[in-house]
A and B are shown apart, each in its own frame.
Chain A
Amino acid sequence: MSKLRVVHYINQFFAQIGGEEKADYPIELREGTPVGPGLAFTQAFGEDAEIVGTIICGDSYFNENIEETTKKVVEMVKGLKPDVVIFGPAFNAGRYGFACGTCAAAVHDELELPVVTGMYPENPGVDTAKDKAYVVVTKNSAADMRHAVKVMAPLALKLARHEHVGASCEEGYINQGIRVNFFEKKRGSERAVEMLLKKIAGKPYETEYPMPSFDRVEPMPAVKDLAHAKIALVTSGGICPKGNPDHIESSNATKFGEYSIEGVTDLTEETFETAHGGYDPSYANEDPDRVLPVDIMRDLEKEGVIGKLHELFYTTVGNGTAVASAKKYGAEIGKRLLSAGVNAVILTST
């Protein structure tokens, strides 16, 4: 089997061209023989992969010609047809890290190639590669090169072979918000007891899920003139026309439905049902108004308490549904309601 092809990006310092005084060194491609840390990578790859080209660029040169240089890096990489691209590692060097992260993201986006870099977690370059490159955690100086290569090389090989990449703590990369499952050595209860003992003793411990910053929505002011308001019904309780025509999933829904209730005064067992998999559906199916109160809304409409019930309702299943999906559906439903001139919405859950 032929060796996997790797392209390596480094700065002028690691190419042994010079320090700060040579930071304006323009971009250059050296095909063949590995340069600087590329030697250590080559050794780590053994017979599995080879560095087919090294892109060298001065840190100042990159930062003064960002767009143009990034484009050149992408072109050079493209010409070499690699299986994976390695940037750095940049340790705590800020401009180098920025160059590595920016180019890694561009190569990922434009060439759809897997990319690996290595940085100290506080390097500002880490953010530029978010969600795109695997950024291996390094210490803050080049003295950590041996360790960095030891972690980056096998990860690069895995990516080149399109193998499953484990969780951040197993593979040694910085977690940038993508949760990956893996089997721990100890069961959860034992880990909980160990964490508690550390917390009691005031010793450092690492939570397995740092709390996200939570998105809280301020309620709108109350509707002043209900008698002339157009009200819509939106539910996460899964009520849909009988037979669930759009196949909304019973859990972790991948879509929402928009259905007409024009002329409908009462939801019945024969016409509507719930798609929700998170509760005993007997009562919702027996009378879907229990979840989507069309009957009551029609009464209120007749009595003149509200102006009008919107002729469309929106529905999805709020059971194990990812927050990101719910947010997307909410934004889209909101847009449609606004353009239909709806003044207020009754949101029902289960």
Chain B
Amino acid sequence: MKLELGKLTIRDIRFSEESKISEGILYVSKEDLRRVALTEEKIKSADFDIARPGESVRITPVKDVVEPRVKTEGPGGIFPGFIAGVDTVGSGKTLALKGMAVVTTGPIVNFQEGVIDMSGPGADYTPFSKLLNLCVICEPVDNCEKHQYESALRMAGLKIASFVAGLGKDIAPEETETFETPDLLTGMKAFPELPRVAYVQMLQSQGLLHDTYVYGVDAKKILPTVLYPTESMDGAILSGNCVSACDKNPTYIHENNPIVEDLFKQHGKTINFVAHVITNENVFLADKERSSNQTAKLCKMLGLDAVIISEEGFGNPDTDLIMNCKKIEAEGIKTVIVTDEYAGRDGKSQSLADADKAADALVTAGNANQLVRLPKLDKVIGTMDYISKIAGSSDKALQSDGSIEVEIQVITGATSEVGFHTLSAR
């Protein structure tokens, strides 16, 4: 399967009467955006704002971050199962608007939304402070239940991203990158000497709004399966998550999965990047056993030599991570696992909730419990009403000078367990 990913860098976003992309500037009409958002019947009102890198702006409570992409050639559409039909994606041509994102905000579960600071020390911890962020602030209708609000806000984000990307559909990309994965047999013949490597991605599926979707299917309900690595670039996997902000994968990270990208860089040179295996993180023991058994089985079936396994979330899914690692290693397949740590504010506690000697190659995205003081910023997009409730904060967070002292857990993407960011710990 071959995907040509075209990139068009957006250099600024401006509100305007007419929605268009011209000379790298995205002009959007609030009316157009509102019309798109209000197609979600559970949304009462929608407002929009723009946050630029370096501005004294805090966005909170952040739900999701989405990169606008549009299919320009080939089967299917971006976000299959939600925005497009369920054709298999990952081939043909796709256009991505780089340097920007659509950020949805709203207090769905209070605890489980995040913070993006566009400047100051908080900005160093989130990869999204480097983007031009088109922020979507949605109020739900009265008596809207949390899961309905989540669904509406998720869909509004995807729809607005798709609308914005559609404005660039006829513009030639500035740069095109080609990703190609041959079928198993062809790959084996093409790279007989290279070690066979796959990416095993664990998707957050603990339920009660800890949900990830694959082609529209709730990942709780999947058996582990195999994708071509380009499928996620077309939005085949997306976030419906309300869970600690630092280590959930927003949709943006699924579209730009760095492990997929970095394995592609080695593909055909030092490794044969065979497949993208996805599995889930359900809460029942039988589900954990079944999914890790099936994952190890798939790895064996694919004739792999090695895999990178990434976790999403922490605590309960640590057991899935260790099961996957142990069982895949037991098949004689080498593993590297990517996770983050909850070592306590003093860094002295055990970092994971489960451990095994098979996990002898681990990449860490840092200790999520570490405290950071974030100064008061001039402008808040969204509301600070929930800042003391977000997981990683406390009722002592707000200081008399208006700054907040919180764990980096509250910061969206701070300890990305797919290694999207550079934070680490020793």
Contacts and interface: CB of A to CB of B under 8 A. Distances in A.
A192 B259 contact: yes
Contacts of A323: 344, 349-350, 353
B349 A324 contact: yes
A26 interface: no
B422 A322 contact: no
Interface string B185-200: 0000000000101000
Which of B266, B271, B364 has the most chain A CB atoms closer than 10 A to its own CB?
B364
Nearest to B270: A197
B425 interface: yes
Contact of A200 (B208, B334, B370, B395): B334
Contact of A183 (B338, B390, B422): B422
Given A179-B426, A282-B146, A191 B363 contact: yes
A347 interface: no
A196 B424 contact: no
Given A189-B261, A252-B407, A322 B420 contact: no
A188 interface: yes
A221 interface: no
A281 B353 CA distance: 22
Given A200-B271, A322-B349, 5 more contacts: A196-B308, A211-B356, A277-B110, A282-B208, A323-B344
Contacts of A278: 111-112, 243-244, 315, 391
Interface string B98-130: 000000000001111000000000001000000
Given A182-B425, A199-B361, A211-B355, A251 B343 contact: no
Interface string A159-171: 0000000011110
A183 B424 contact: yes
B416 A188 contact: yes
Interface in B307-361: 308, 314-315, 334, 336, 338, 341-357, 359-361
A323 B355 CA distance: 13
Contacts of B426: 167-170, 175, 179-180, 182, 208
A259 B360 CA distance: 43
A200 B195 contact: yes
Contacts of A276: 111
A181 B424 contact: yes
A185 B421 CA distance: 10
A280 B109 contact: yes
Question: Chain B interface secondary structure, helix, strand, loop or mixed?
Answer: loop
Nearest to A193: B262
Contact of B347 (A180, A186, A251, A254): A180
B369 A208 contact: no
Given A179-B367, A192-B308, A212 B425 contact: no
A335 interface: no
B206 interface: yes
Contact of A320 (B262, B342, B425): B342
Contacts of A209: 341, 351-352, 362, 364, 425
B419 A191 contact: yes
Given A193-B308, A278-B111, A280-B147, A187 B258 contact: yes
A186 B306 contact: no
Interface string B362-376: 111111111000000
Interface string B386-406: 000111111100000000000
Question: Chain A interface secondary structure, helix, strand, loop or mixed?
Answer: loop
Interface of A: 131, 167-170, 175, 177-193, 195-197, 199-200, 205, 207-209, 211-214, 247, 249-252, 254, 276-283, 318-325
B315 A322 contact: no
A188 B338 contact: yes
Contacts of A186: 422
B167 interface: no
B217 interface: no
Given A199-B334, A200-B334, A250-B111, A192 B422 contact: no
A197 to B, nearest CB: 6
B205 to A, nearest CB: 13
B245 to A, nearest CB: 11
B263 interface: yes
12 contacts: A170-B426, A179-B348, A182-B424, A185-B422, A193-B262, A209-B352, A251-B409, A252-B342, A278-B244, A320-B392, A322-B349, A325-B349
Contact of B334 (A196, A254, A282, A322): A196
A183 to B, nearest CB: 5
B419 A190 contact: yes
Contacts of A197: 266, 270-271
B422 A187 contact: yes
A303 to B, nearest CB: 28
A325 B343 CA distance: 10
A320 B336 contact: no
